[in-house]
Structure 1
Amino acid sequence: MTLLDTTDTGRGLLTADRYRAELDDGRELYLDGKRISDPAGHPAFKPAADEIGRLLDLQHHPDHQDLLTWQDPATGQRLARAYQPPRTVEELRVQRRSAEFWHAESLGQHGRSPAFMASIAVGLYDFRHQLEKARTGFGTNAEAWYHHTSRNDLVLSHALGDPQIDRSADPVDDPDLALRVLSENERGIVVRGAKQLTTLAPLAHEVLVYLSASFAQRRGEQFVVWFALPLNTPGLVTLCREPLGSSPWGHAHPLGARFDEQDAMLFFDDVLVPWDRVFLLRESELARTGLGRINAWSAYIGHVRYRERLRTLLATATLVAESIGVDGFRNIQEDLGTLAGYAELTEYFLDAAEARATVTDSGLLAPGDTAASRVWSAEVAGKAVDIVRGIGASGLLMQPTANDLANPRLRPHLDRYMRGRGIDAEHKSRLFRLAWELTGDGFGQRQDLYEFVHRGDLARNRINLYRRYDQSSVRERLQRLIAEPTTSPEVQS
């Protein structure tokens, strides 16, 4: 079957069992120098795969089906709600409510949730007419790929950034600095290079490859390409970073184990991309304008996820403050109020995106521009984490393990000196370990860095905001004000 087979209705909504089985697809996946044959069964990935599977199973639960799924009018199938192309404000808002449910279940830790990536597939589908104008067949490919992903409920990843080799150099002079098209033939295009940082790649079915905003500085149309591939494509090699959800000392890491989405480098070793999986080729201006267009819904859904992360940080900080009796201190309440303000502002940004929604040329309703809210989110992300760290302070570093608590020689000391206000040492230990995992250990630091980098270069985003902001009316009033000399009022004697 090719993507252009419109008679295929796919396999429908994923279940946990089917999802785990489909990851055992022969992909070339490496962790710590060893090839991994079945990521869903490997200890480094199994807890995260099981968590995604648990959430996918909720789509079949009668209590959640109407929220998490929708009926495709073309096939009568129930599909994941995140794949629904919204055409009305209500359809946009139900996507938001569906994403809120998913991200509440994952405590705002799933940056590359299936709900997020499905919205990018919707964006590509929306942009299909522009792609078709650029080259006959590419828009059809985009539409076919959207139907393929939605009707099979595929879990997706995306790859944008180039390797960090020498960012001062130009890929034209050193082609290994960016993924490039080597050649074209009757079967498709051949690409060589690498992409970072591909979050969720070991746990996804397919990857969508396109360009980050930094590509505008490049010369050479051979670097301008959009396509999608299964992660078991021959010649595509996936290298994972060190897992963050385990400890050699056996400490519990409930967040890291369940929500470490993994980040990976993708190496394209002269990979053939079939023509029906190519969406854009050698069209720099189209790629530049299309980047924001296809991400319109993902930016909106991403803000839903960030709202839940802020709510999680606020609730954690409050519980920590209560557990050590500082919740009544004025400075602590001020810090908690700052976090509450951050969480509340995300609601305003989402409401504004809905209020400013516009109909695209394909008839979908796209959320209003969220560029300013993305800049704000990156600016406050580190501050939110610092507040939790400041309240927990040194207590975040020194908490007993489960084995410490089980040691009869240590336990009396722990009960006496490591308890909290109204809670025993064991409960306090679990709470503070949760706070440390959110803010301080490898998983917490990865999540913090993710918030800073995944929205793109902060300085560039600020500059783009400045350049795009319409100051014309205010500038005109000021120019009129200063056009004539200021006259002083006559002094009355």
Structure 2
Amino acid sequence: MIRTGAQYRDSIRGERDVYINGERVNDVTTHPQFKPLVDIRARLYDMQHEETSKGILTYTEGGETSAIGNKLPYSQTDWWSKRRATDHVMNKIGGVVTRVGDETVGEMWSLFDGAEVLNEIDPQFANNIETHISNVVKGDPFQISANTDPKGDRSKPAQDQDPDMLLHVVRETDAGIVVRGAKYETAAAYANQAFTKPTIANWGSEELSEYAVGFICDLNSPNLKFICRTGFAGRASAQDYPLANKFDEVDALVIFDDVLIPWENVLFYRHTKAAKFMRASLHRYTAFAFIQRNLKFADMMIGAALFNVRQTGLDKYQGVQEKLSALACYREGINAHLTAAIALAEKSPAGLMMPNQSLLYAGRVLACSQLHEVMHIARELCGGQICVTPDAATFHNPETKPWMDKYYTINDEWAAEDRRKLLALTRDMLNSDFAGHRLSFQLFTQSPPFAHLAAVYQNFDWDGPLAFVKDVAGLSDKVMGEQSLSSRDSAVSSWFSNDIASQTPETSVG
């Protein structure tokens, strides 16, 4: 059931209409700006077969072996296994990648939880979700997320401007629906399929809308075009920019030019209630894997900063130790939220083990809202040499190498070449174009800051503080109102209420 790297490469060599840098791409598996991530994803598939990794990355059930990232979580143990697998992958590849599938497949589990809502609309939609989840477990595809539209004039409803600004259904056929529009999707050019859905509820108050549609899109489908942003790989030497040349996940504007979506791949259609529910619950599982990436990036910043101050003896100063402690607090804050989200996990309506929602979403706010500040602290600790150090060619040129050796060698432990490698890594992590891109991506990839906070508002248990203050102040029971502000422990129908869902808009990059 688990694929090999070769099988994955073969699956994306179809007749795809891919463009980058103004040119048509013949083979994404060999193109220099796609190849690094294709190689990493292929490596992850191969690791599932290797003796040293398969026990961590896979599980066997009913005689079939599948990827641990695709497994529905029914216990806390499942979440510890997923966390262990992600750590193992990042350690083995030597960096952080976000869109490789395990952090997007959980979006389907949220719809699995919403079977009651979908059954009210059309039982076939819920059946399609169950079938798709089973297909993912058995087929091990590289699935990504498709969210953000070009948007156009956001002050106007979609119907009052170019209708293609938001992806929508243009007609129905016996075979399925035909859709038109565009989506920004990270990794689309080299993935297998995308869970495609609306970004925001700008269809107004209508009960039915051609814009309220969610489906699984086979990325080898006819009439798709992939117009990609230029990649960072190959712009400069990999010795000088080791992260940009290996871990750049290329985003694409995917054009749906009347693409047929078979009925069995349609997960909801027309009913705005289903779309609102989906947006409100989309990240209840996937936020975990996303936040764990921030944790690994924090480890990288701490390691680079600590090496930089230790090599020059600055780690003995209190001021430096305080800044290192600030990095550690950020890292441990993320770690604490992830750990507590598992320890206090909750059963979902469908019986899945759902990370504690209030802690999970609060952890996402911490990880994203403070990232830029923590990166700046790491810059301070690494010093100005990350922005003034010459390139690797200068360190290796016979005419300049002696001077580089003289001024960059500190002692027997830190020779010039090791210092160059550390400074190059740090520069690419904190100062390069790639570093700026990654900072913006982390800020918006699951939704913008206002939506992060909205998710916390909808999932925090407000009753506890209210009841405490009521008792301390001696207030009457009337002040609590007839209905609690918190809906987390109410009936399933309240969980999925249209009002709550509509208050949690989430927009994100692909």
Quick check: TM above 0.5? yes
Q: Partner residue of 1:206?
A: 193
Deviation at residue 49 of structure 1 after TM alignment:
1.2
Distance 1:86 1:250, change over 3 A: closer
Distance 1:314 1:379, change over 3 A: same
Select which of 42, 54, 58 maps to 1:69. 58
Alpha-carbon contact 1:109-1:447 (below 8 Å) kept: no
Identity %: 26
- For the pair 1:435 / 2:423, whether they are aligned, the reply is no
Letter in 2 for 1:155: F
Deviation at residue 290 of structure 1 after TM alignment:
2.6
Give structure 2 stretches of 5+ with no counterpart.
478-510
Distance 1:193 1:478, change over 3 A: farther
Alpha-carbon contact 1:29-1:238 (below 8 Å) kept: yes
- For the pair 1:454 / 2:445, whether they are aligned, the reply is yes
Pairing of 1:242-261 with structure 2 (within 5 A): 242-248=230-236, 252-261=240-249
How far apart, in 2, do the equivalents of 1:409 and 1:215 lie? 63
SS of 1:273's partner is strand
Q: Partner residue of 2:250?
A: 262
Deviation at residue 148 of structure 1 after TM alignment:
2.0
Letter in 1 for 2:241: H
Pairing of 1:23-422 with structure 2 (within 5 A): 23-73=12-62, 76-107=63-94, 109-174=96-161, 175-196=163-184, 198-212=185-199, 214-215=200-201, 218=204, 221-248=209-236, 252-369=240-357, 370-420=360-410, 422=413
How far apart, in 1, do the equivalents of 2:405 and 2:30 lie? 39
Letter in 1 for 2:32: P
Alpha-carbon contact 2:97-2:247 (below 8 Å) kept: yes
Distance 1:218 1:257, change over 3 A: farther
How far apart, in 2, do the equivalents of 1:23 and 1:468 lie? 39
How far apart, in 2, do the equivalents of 1:44 and 1:385 lie? 26
How far apart, in 2, do the equivalents of 1:217 and 1:184 lie? 19
Letter in 2 for 1:426: E
Equivalent pairs counted in the alignment come to: 468
Distance 1:218 1:242, change over 3 A: farther
Deviation at residue 435 of structure 1 after TM alignment:
0.5
SS of 1:109's partner is coil
SS of 2:423's partner is helix
Q: Deviations over 1:170-223 (max 9, x none)?
A: 212112331111122222111111112x111122111110133x3367455221
How far apart, in 2, do the equivalents of 1:201 and 1:121 lie? 18
Give structure 1 stretches of 5+ with no counterpart.
1-11, 484-493
How far apart, in 1, do the equivalents of 2:202 and 2:276 lie? 7
Alpha-carbon contact 1:107-1:308 (below 8 Å) kept: no
TM-score, normalized by length of structure 1? 0.89
Deviates more, 1:233-242 or 1:290-299: 290-299
Alpha-carbon contact 2:32-2:233 (below 8 Å) kept: no
Distance 1:105 1:251, change over 3 A: closer
How far apart, in 1, do the equivalents of 2:319 and 2:343 lie? 36
Select which of 455, 459, 472 maps to 2:466. 472
Alpha-carbon contact 2:178-2:260 (below 8 Å) kept: yes
Distance 1:222 1:164, change over 3 A: closer
Q: Deviations over 1:386-438 (max 9, x none)?
A: 11212223211122323212212211211122334542222111111100111
Q: Deviations over 1:27-67 (max 9, x none)?
A: 11111121212111111111221122122211111222222
Alpha-carbon contact 1:89-1:365 (below 8 Å) kept: yes
How far apart, in 2, do the equivalents of 1:48 and 1:397 lie? 27
SS of 1:100's partner is helix
How far apart, in 2, do the equivalents of 1:124 and 1:463 lie? 20
RMSD of equivalent CA atoms: 2.3
Alpha-carbon contact 1:106-1:259 (below 8 Å) kept: no
How far apart, in 2, do the equivalents of 1:253 and 1:359 lie? 44
Distance 1:271 1:217, change over 3 A: closer
Alpha-carbon contact 1:156-1:206 (below 8 Å) kept: yes
How far apart, in 2, do the equivalents of 1:250 and 1:60 lie? 29
Letter in 2 for 1:310: A
SS of 2:169's partner is strand
- For the pair 1:425 / 2:416, whether they are aligned, the reply is yes
How far apart, in 2, do the equivalents of 1:250 and 1:312 lie? 18
SS of 1:215's partner is coil
How far apart, in 2, do the equivalents of 1:148 and 1:38 lie? 26
Letter in 2 for 1:215: A
Deviation at residue 248 of structure 1 after TM alignment:
4.7
